[in-house]
Amino acid sequence: MWMYLAGLVVLYYVVRWYRELARVPDRGNKYVYVTGCDSGFGNLLARHLDKCGFCVVAACFTEKGEEELKKSCSNRLTTTHLDVRKTESIDKVAAFIKNLVGNRGLWAVVNNAGVSVPSGPCDWMTLEDYKSMLDVNLNGVIGVTLSVIPLIKKARGRVVNVASVFGRISPVGGPYCVSKYGVEGFNDSLRRGLKPFGVKVLCIEPGFFKTSVTDTNLLIKCVRSLWDKLPQETKDDYGDDFVSKVEKVMEETFAKMPDSDLMKCVRCMEHAVSAVHPRTRYSPGWDAKMFWLPMSYAPTWFSDYLLLKDNPPPAKAVN
């Protein structure tokens, strides 16, 4: 019985592997719009898709990001400025792309732009802290997608949304997980809504990779900044040494977790864009596959215990 089941599992993965090898033809006439191309995944993806023969529209937040991409890519790649927090910026880029692609439509949009700060315990946050991150990580994804859906429909193309394993489980406080859970919800409803139009909607759920989103120094600086703004009553709840304890945990554990091989994620993003039969979800990173996703299916009491056991307790924690 077990041998039979094992054989079926092996057969399934062999068939899936073979089916996923096929790539879409005529890449030189297919345009792909990628956000957040200044650094990290977006920058590498823009370069990689350019090498694969696609016509890339790389949206950057800075002039420096645009200039560096232009120098390192072919003339098929076009750069543009984009601030996903601003509707007028989103609409301006959408109009530019519409004029660029003409009747062929837009083959794919990859919603990659995102930030990880401010991050900290929920009761250290203000509503404005939540709004500032949601404007980029969630509202930006929705706004960019809605602005080009007519062009995607015309090409019967793809929408690729970069969420996170933290869109499945919330080990940290603050708005980051909230924003990624929101991306997951938008992705699922969009996938079902656009299926009748021949549009594929795919989700990337990376684990920990070494990008600005997981920059330990940046996150520690954010924790200190949030602490300095707290009312004394909240500081008393946590204790004067709480921040130093958090910093130690982050330096000893969190700093060692990110995977430096960003291409593991970029290859998943490229597959979502170029495969004839892409997957609905991708989970790049062994930590995503072996720890975070299984943890998201575990009983709540178990995941709570495992994720809290190494956290420094507040001074006024109740035993």
Which sequence positions are flagged as catalytic?
A: 176
146 sits in the region (left: phi over 0; alpha: psi -120 to 50; else beta) called alpha
Distance of CA 220 to the CA centre of its chain: 21
Cβ atoms of 227 and 125 within 8 Å: the answer is: no
User: What 3-state DSSP class applies to 47?
Assistant: helix
Amino acid present at 17: W
Two tokens, residue 252? 């000893």
> Per DSSP, what are the bridge partners of residue 202?
160
> What percentage of the chain's residues is helix, strand, coil (to nearest 5)?
60, 10, 30
Greatest CA separation for the chain: 65
Strands (E), the chain: 31-34, 55-60, 78-81, 108-111, 158-162, 200-204, 281-282
